A and B are shown apart, each in its own frame.
Chain A
Amino acid sequence: MADITTDAKALRVSPLEVIGHRMVATSSPRVTINEIPFETQIGLRGDASKAAFNRAVKSALGVAPPKEACTAVEAGDRRILWLGPDEWLAVAPDDTGADLLGKLEGPVAKAGGAAIDLTANRTVIVVSGPDARGVLEKGCLHDLHPRAFPTGRVVGTLLAKSQIFLEKTGDKPETFRLYVRASFARHLAEWLIDAAAEFAA
C-alpha cells in the first residue's frame, strides 16, 4: 500500500501556488511579484491605552502595537500593522503561529482584549522594484508617492476592487506588501501580472 502523507505541511497549498510560475515569469528587474505563503497572522483587539495590553503584546512579539494610525512597526522578522483604533494584525514567519498564540492569548485576554489566529484569512503578495509603484497606481486610489506614503505606512483600501491592506516596507527599491483575502488572491495576482507586463524587459 502506498504511503499516505499525514504531514499537513506537505499537503497544504497556498492560494497563489497555481500561478506562482506566471508571477515569476512576469517579474523583471523593474518590478517583481512574489507570494509569501503561509505567513502567521494574528488578529489583535484591545485597548492600547492599557499598559497590560501593551506589555502582553510586547513580551510575545518584541514590540508594542503602534498607536499612530495607519502605521506598522517591525521587530526582526515580525511586524504589527495598525488596522483600526483598537485592532492590529501581527505578522510573523510560517511555523511561529502556535508558539505566538500560546504566548498572546492568555495575557491579552486578561487585559480585556483578544488574540485570534487569522493565518488562513489572507496571503501576502510582495511587489517590489523601481516600477512597483507604477504597477499599483493603476488600480489604487491612494497617493503612493514617498512623500505621501512613506515606509512603514499601512492602509486598508481597494486595489483592483479587492480589499487589501497595503503596507510599504522599503524605499530602495520601493517595496509593498499586499495582504489579500485568500479568495481574492487569484484575481488580484492575475491583475498584477497584467499590470506589470508593460514593465517587463
Chain B
Amino acid sequence: MLLIRCPYCGLRPEVEFSYGGEAHISRPEDPNALNDEEWGDFLFMRANQKGAFRERWVHTHGCRRWFNVLRDTSSHEIHATYEVGAPKPDVPGAAKPVRKPRARKSAKP
C-alpha cells in the first residue's frame, strides 16, 4: 500500500484516497470552437506516462480535498504532493522537465 502525504492532513494510507487521473488538464475556454477530434482529445486522450507523472488524488475519507501528486508510474515513488494552484514541484534528479503529453491544440496547460 502507498503512503500518500495529503497536503492538509499529512501522511495517510492509500485506502483513504481516490484517484483522479492526469493533473493540469484545463477545460477549453471555448468548447464550441473545437472540432470533434479536438474535443475528443480533451476528453479522452491522456499521456499514459512512464516515469514521473503529475496526477490528481482526493482524500476521500479524510479531509475530502483534491490535490496533485508527482508520482513515478514505474516505481510508485511519490516525489511530491502539492495543493491545487500551487507551483509545480520539479522532478528530483531529472535533467529535463516532465515530458509533455501529446500537444493539445485547444487546451492551454
Residues on A facing B (Cβ under 8 Å): 69-70, 83-85, 87, 141-142, 155-158, 163
Contact = CB atoms under 8 A, between A and B. Distances in A.
Contacts, number: 38
Contacts of B62: 84, 155-157
A171 to B, nearest CB: 21
Interface string B59-82: 101111100000000000000000
Contacts of A84: 8, 62-65
Interface of B: 8-10, 12-13, 15-16, 59, 61-65
A94 to B, nearest CB: 27
Contacts of A155: 9, 62
Given A70-B10, A157-B16, A87 B61 contact: no
Contact of B15 (A70, A83, A156, A158): A158
Closest 5 CB pairs of A and B: A84-B63, A156-B62, A141-B13, A163-B61, A85-B8
A142 B59 CA distance: 15
A83 B8 CA distance: 10
Contact of B61 (A69, A85, A156): A156
B84 to A, nearest CB: 12
B61 A70 contact: no
A53 B59 CA distance: 25
Nearest to B3: A141
B13 A156 contact: no
A156 B16 CA distance: 8
A179 to B, nearest CB: 12
A140 B9 CA distance: 16
A44 to B, nearest CB: 14
A37 B62 CA distance: 23
A13 B64 CA distance: 30
Contact of B63 (A83, A141, A142, A163): A83
A70 B62 CA distance: 9
Contacts of B59: 156
A87 B64 CA distance: 10
Contacts of A157: 12, 16, 61-62
Contacts of A87: 63-64
